[in-house]
Amino acid sequence: MRVHSPFPFEFLLMLFATLMSFAMEAGENFNVRTLQYSKQGFTISLPKLDAVDDLLVDSIAIALYGISAHLKLAKEVAKSANYTVSQRQEVLSFSLFDFITGFFSGLPIGASKSRIETLLQVGAQSLLFNVVVAAVLVPMILWGTSLLSPLPLCVLSCVALSGLRSVFAGLHTLTKLCRLSTVDTFSWISSALVAVFISNSTNALGTAIAFGLFTVIFRNQWPECQVLVNVTGSGCYYAEKSRYGSDLVEENGIAVIRFEAPLLFANVVQFKKGIHEIVDDIKGQIMAVGIGTRTGSMKSNCGAAGFKEIPMRSTLLISGDIVPNYENTNVDQSLTKIAILDCSSINYVDTAGLEAMVELYEELNFKTTRLFFACVNATIRDQIHAIHGFELIPKNCFYPSVHDAVLSAQQIGGVVASNIHMSVSLNGCRDLITLSTANSNHDDLNQQQRNVDGISVSLYNGSTGFENPIQIHRPASATSSRQNPPTSSIASRPSLPESKTPPIVVLQPLRATNSNS
């Protein structure tokens, strides 16, 4: 029978059992073990320093369990009552009260879920309810402790076990925990078993904590190296190859890898081994692939023709200066593959991890593979700078996003995806807008059609006198109303034709944008 009352039912049970035991003289007539507690009042005494060696471990275990149980219950109540809990204030209050009650032979402070539920039911909203509790407990401690001496210990044990009903009620969450994490499930089961079979509660608590730390080490020791692929086709979003497949975007000679754990001394061997295995499985070599397309018609033929087919790239800084860029002609032509390491999941690197990053870069260079680092946080970059790592790994191998690293890798391969695109590098921390002057296969096919209207848009810089025309072509079907006279022969059109008629100049203001947008 359940009694729905805010009054604590355990107190009524203890009172009734005490009266029955006193009336029947259960301790003398039936050999029932009773409390037999006759001490009254508050006994002031100093702690015995000679017992520190015997009680130190147990006191630490009791303190850890008490504060952790209290903080858990406080967060649950705060969540239901919509207020915040300061953990620092709670720990300070626990330490202060335990220190004061230690001089009065008081028990350690603990949290009771049944008591908190009772207070919530009666509508306690402030600390004033402690006045009512103290008004009842203080007279009981001073003069009423002898009244509870006939209390049977079996009844007291039942009251203590009833406070653990919330722990046994948590068994139904085990099935949900199995679906979420296998490691957490084993941690929960092991903690429950050691609490049941180990008689010493301090040793059981230490064993449970040790197993929990082992699970953390286990997760960091064997992390996963995920191969990422371009999912959307635009190059802005990369996801796991195991989930989305490898046929979404062609990235010949380029692999995007994500290491999903902090890089520590315990997993550096697994880190290097996983990267080497993925690099060895990269299919093909670096070639020109159009950015944001999956069709072969948009691939540039400059990669097959060699770097000499790309005469020059010009770089337009946001400040307005135009600087020629001959990076494609100076690139190491022995490179066959490029690996891009996504460091967004690496939030911490120790000394062994930093050495592993430098060693991996040198080992992949020996395999004619260039390693790029993307999404490296500022803390790790400062650590690399502290060990003079940029002397071995150039700064132009670090990029703020995977998309920028892929753009740079495709430029090394001689790719010209679009006439205008932006590339951002952490080297120098400046935004660059690269203007390409190479033609694609699409432009070569249009050379055979003479009935196309060409609109040449020029971007001119008055300070340098450098001009980059951008050709925009319309297909013949869109201009069927205009008929051009047929020509007797088809002549190849250069990539930058000189217009005999004055071109239509359209003023286009250049704006500084982010490459990730």
Write out 335-352 in H/E/C secondary structure. CCEEEEEECCCCCCECHH
pLDDT in tens, 375-384: 999 999 999 9
C-beta of residue 35 within 8 angstroms of C-beta of residue 151: yes
Of 361, 387, 413, the domain-final residue:
413
What does the pLDDT read at residue 377? 93
Residue 272 — φ and ψ, nearest 5°?
Answer: -65, -40
Considering the domain architecture, whether residues 274 and 259 belong to the same structural domain is answered as: yes
In percent, how much of the chain has pLDDT > 90? 14
CATH number at residue 348: 3.30.750.24
The domain tally of the chain equals 3
* 116 shares its domain with 142: yes
pLDDT of residue 52 exceeding 80? yes
Residue 473 falls inside a structural domain:
no
Would residue 72 count as lying in a domain?
yes
Residues 324 and 280 in one domain: yes
Domain match, 259 and 138 both: no
98 and 208 share a domain? no
Supply the Cα-derived Rg of the chain in whole angstroms: 38
**Beta-strand pair 225-230/254-259:** antiparallel
* pLDDT tens figures, 478-504: 444 444 444 444 444 444 444 445 455
Residues 200, 266, single domain; the answer is: no
Give helix 87-101 / helix 52-81 axis angle, nearest 10°: 140
Q: Give DSSP secondary structure letters for 185-208.
A: HHHHHHHHHHHHH-S-HHHHHHHH
User: Which pLDDT score is estimated for 469?
Assistant: 43
Is 59 domain-assigned?
A: yes
d(CA 203, CA 108): 19
The answer on 229 and 213 residing in a single domain is no
pLDDT at residue 90 is higher than 50: yes
Say if residue 380 is in the same domain as residue 328: yes
Q: Which residues contact 194 (CB under 8 A, 6 or more apart)?
A: 204, 207, 208, 211
Average pLDDT over residues 232-250: 69
Residue 365 within any structural domain of the chain: yes
Looking at the structure, tell me whether residues 154 and 190 fall in a common domain: no
205 belongs to a structural domain = yes
Q: Is the domain of 249 the same as that of 382?
A: yes
Q: Which of 350, 379, 413 is the last residue before a domain boundary?
A: 413
Is residue 95 located within the same domain as residue 150? yes
* CB of 240 closer than 8 Å to CB of 232: no
Token pair for 19? 């009266």
Residue 282 pLDDT greater than 80, yes or no: yes
Q: Average per-residue pLDDT in the chain? A: 72
Q: What is the pLDDT of residue 6?
A: 52
Handedness of CA 392, 396, 399, 403 (dihedral sign): negative
Q: Give the pLDDT of residue 179.
A: 85
- At which of 413, 429, 451 does a domain end? 413
pLDDT in tens, 137-149: 788 777 777 778 8
Please tell me the distance from the alpha carbon of residue 103 to that of residue 109, in angstroms, as a whole number: 14
Does pLDDT of 293 surpass 80? no
* pLDDT score for 166: 67
Same domain, 237 and 373: yes
Residue type, 477: S
Domain containing 132: what range?
Answer: 9-168
494 belongs to a structural domain: no
Q: With respect to residue 162, please indicate whether it lies within any of the assigned structural domains.
A: yes
Judge whether residue 313 has pLDDT over 50: no
Which two tokens mark 424? 């951002």
Instruction: Kindly report the pTM of this predicted structure.
Output: 0.57
d(CA 196, CA 211): 16
pLDDT per residue over 357-366, tens digit each? 999 999 999 9
Question: Both tokens of residue 8?
Answer: 């604590």
User: Would residue 445 count as lying in a domain?
Assistant: no
